[in-house]
Amino acid sequence: MDFFSDFAEKFYDNFIKDDRWRYLTDGLMNTLLITLFAVIIGLLLGFIIAIIRATHDKTGKLKVLNLISKVYLTVIRGTPVVVQLLIIYFVIFASVNIDKLFVAVLAFGLNSAAYVAEIVRSGIMSVDKGQFEAGSSLGLGYNQTMITIILPQAFKNILPALANEFIVLLKETSVSGYIAIADLTKGGDIIRSQTYEAFMPLIAVALIYLVIVMFLTFLVGKLERRLAKNDKR
Amino acid sequence: MINVKDLHKSFGDLHILKGINETIEKGEKVVIVGPSGSGKSTFLRCLNLLETPTSGDIFFEGTNITKASTKEVNLLRQKMGMVFQHFNLFPHLTIKKNITLAPVKLGLMTKEEADATADRLLKKVGLADKAEQYPPQLSGGQKQRIAIARSLAMNPDVMLFDEPTSALDPEMVGEVLNLMKELADDGMTMVVVTHEMGFAREVASRVLSMDDGYIVEQNTPKEFFANPDSPRLREFLSKVL
C-alpha cells in the first residue's frame, strides 16, 4: 500500500503539480521540430554530396567539389555531434544573437547530411552498372540517366537505411540541452532539478523516446515489407 | 556505315584489342564469334563508346566518334541500338515506360507518339499484353524481346547485340533468335556477338572470328564453317558445333 501511495504522490509532484508535464510536452515539441527540419537539411545536402561523390567515382569529373565533400564527411563523421553543436553556437554564431532552435536544426542537419550522403552514395553504387549502360546506349545523357533511371532505384534500395538514420537523429537531438534548448531530455532534467527526484522524470523521458522510436521502427518495417513485395511482382 | 581503323583497347596492363580494322556496310549482318576473352564484346562496346578506345579511330556515318563531344556521342548512340546479355531493362518502370522513356525524354516523340510506337513494337515482338507489367514479372526471353523493342523505339540505323541469348534458358533462345531473324529480314544493319552458330550460319552476311584481340578470319558463313583457315578457328568450331 505504501508503495502505491508513494508512487501516486511522486507522480503528482513530478508531473501534475505546477503543470510540470508541460516541460515534457513542450520539450517533445522542440525535439520533434529540430528533428524534422534537421531531416530536411540532411536529406537535401546529403543527396547533393552523394551525387557529387558518385559522379566523381563514375566519371572522374567534379574533382574540387569531391575533395570538399570528402573533407566535410571526414570532419563531420570524425567529431562528436555535441562538439559540432557547441562550436556552431559558441564559435560560429558567437557574436550574433540567433535563435537557438535554428542553431540546433543547422547543427543536426549538417551532421545528418554526412551520414545521409554515404547512405545515398551506397544506394547509387548498388544499382547495377548495366542500368547506366542501358541508359547511355539509348542516347540519354549522364544527368538524364541519373535522374530517371539510377536515383529512383537507388532511393528504393536505401529507404530503410535512411529511415534508420532519422531514428538515430531523433535520439541524437537529446544533446540540445548543451546550448540550453529545452528539448525533451532537458525538460525531464528541469523537473528533476525542481523535485530532486530523478526516477520519475527520467524514466518518463526514456519511455517517450522509446515509444516514438518503436512507432517509427514499426513504420520502417512496414515500408520494407511493402518494398520487398514490389520486388516479387 | 561503320569504319574502324587500328582500334586498340587496354584495361590497365591488359591489352584486349590489338589493332582492329573493319568496315561494316549498311544492311550487313555481321556475326562475331570467338572464344571467351578474345575481345569480341569489348570490340562491340567500343562501337558505341560504352568503352573508350585506347587508340584508333571509329567512323560512324562519316563522323569520327572517338573525337566527338559528349553531346555528339549521345546523339550517335540514339542511332545505334544496343541489346545486352543481361537485358538491362529498367525494373522500376512498366514495360511500356521502358520503351517510351528515351524517345520522350530526348524530345524525339510526344508521349502519344511514343505510346503508339510502343504499342506497335510490343505487337511486333508479340508481347502486347505485357505493356502494363514490370520487368521482374517477365521470363528471360520476354525480357530480351522487350529490350529489343526498347532499342527499336529509337529508330536506330544499326543494332548491336552483345551475346543476347547467353543468359537465357535453352527453351527461350529460339524466341529471341526468331525476332532477330525478323529484324534481319527487315533490312536492319546488325552486329551480333554470339555463340549461336546456327544463327550465324542462317542469318549472317559475314562471320568474323576473333582471337586474342585480333580479327583472325572473316568469310561468308558458308565458307566460314565449311573451310576454316586457321587451326585455332578449326579447334574452336569443333568445340562449339
Specify which residues B10 forms β-bridges with: B15
Question: Residues with Cβ < 8 Å from A216, sequence gap 6 or more?
Answer: A163, A166, A167, A170
Reported confidence tier of residue B58, pLDDT bands at 50, 70, 90: very high
The predicted-structure confidence for B86-103, as pLDDT tens digits, reads as follows: 999 999 999 999 999 999
pLDDT of residue A230: 61
Chain A and chain B share a number of CB contacts under 8 A equal to 69
The contact set of A with B (CB < 8 A) is: 128, 130-131, 133-142, 144, 148-149, 152-153, 156, 231-233
CA A11 vs CA A15, A17, A197, A222, B86: distances in Å: 6, 9, 10, 36, 65
CA–CA gap between residue B195 and residue B236 (Å, rounded):
11
Distance from CA of B175 to the nearest CA of A (A): 22
pLDDT of residue A105: 97
pLDDT of residue B233: 82
pLDDT of residue A185: 95
Inter-chain CB proximity B92 and A233 less than 8 Å: no
Specify which residues B63 forms β-bridges with: B60
* Helix, strand, coil shares, percent, chain B, to 5: 45, 25, 30
Q: Which of B70, B86, B102 sits opposite A138 (nearest CB)?
A: B102
Specify which residues B80 forms β-bridges with: B158
Question: B191 with B158: CB under 8 angstroms?
Answer: yes
What average pLDDT does this structure show over B176-203? 94
Handedness of CA B175, B176, B177, B180 (dihedral sign): positive
Reported confidence tier of residue B231, pLDDT bands at 50, 70, 90: confident
What average pLDDT does this structure show over B128-157? 95
Which three cell numbers mark A70? 570528402
The predicted-structure confidence for B20-32, as pLDDT tens digits, reads as follows: 999 999 999 999 9
Reported confidence tier of residue B40, pLDDT bands at 50, 70, 90: very high
Question: B13 with B21: CB under 8 angstroms?
Answer: no
The predicted-structure confidence for B145-166, as pLDDT tens digits, reads as follows: 999 999 999 999 999 999 999 9
pLDDT at B236 over 90: no
pLDDT at B114 over 80: yes
pLDDT at B224 over 60: yes
Which three cell numbers mark A126? 548498388
Helix count (H) and strand count (E) of chain B? 9, 10
The contact set of B with A (CB < 8 A) is: 48, 50, 70-71, 74-78, 80-82, 84, 86, 88-92, 101-102, 105-106, 133-134, 136-137, 150-151, 154
User: Strand B214-219 relative to strand B29-33: parallel, antiparallel, unpaired?
Assistant: unpaired
Q: What is the DSSP letter of A99?
A: -
Q: What is the DSSP letter of B64?
A: E
Q: Which of B48, B136, B150 sits opposite A233 (nearest CB)?
A: B136
Long-range interactions of B196-205: CB distance < 8 A, separation 24+:
B196/B165, B197/B33, B197/B225, B197/B237, B197/B240, B197/B241, B199/B31, B200/B31, B200/B33, B200/B224, B200/B225, B201/B225, B203/B29, B203/B31, B204/B29, B204/B30, B204/B31, B205/B27, B205/B28, B205/B29, B205/B30
Distance from CA of B230 to the nearest CA of A (A): 35
The ipTM estimated for the assembled molecules is: 0.91
CA–CA gap between residue B101 and residue B153 (Å, rounded):
10
Q: Which of A139, A153, A231 sits opposite B74 (nearest CB)?
A: A139
What average pLDDT does this structure show over B71-94? 95
**What is the average pLDDT value for chain B, to the nearest integer?**
93
Q: Mean pLDDT by 10-residue block, N- to C-terminus, for chain A (233 residues)? A: 82 86 93 96 96 90 95 96 96 90 96 96 94 96 94 90 93 95 94 91 95 92 77 54
Which three cell numbers mark B33? 564469334
Please give the single-letter amino acid code of residue B74. Answer: N
Question: What percent of chain B shows pLDDT beyond 90?
Answer: 87
Question: A172 with A185: CB under 8 angstroms?
Answer: no
What average pLDDT does this structure show over B115-133? 95
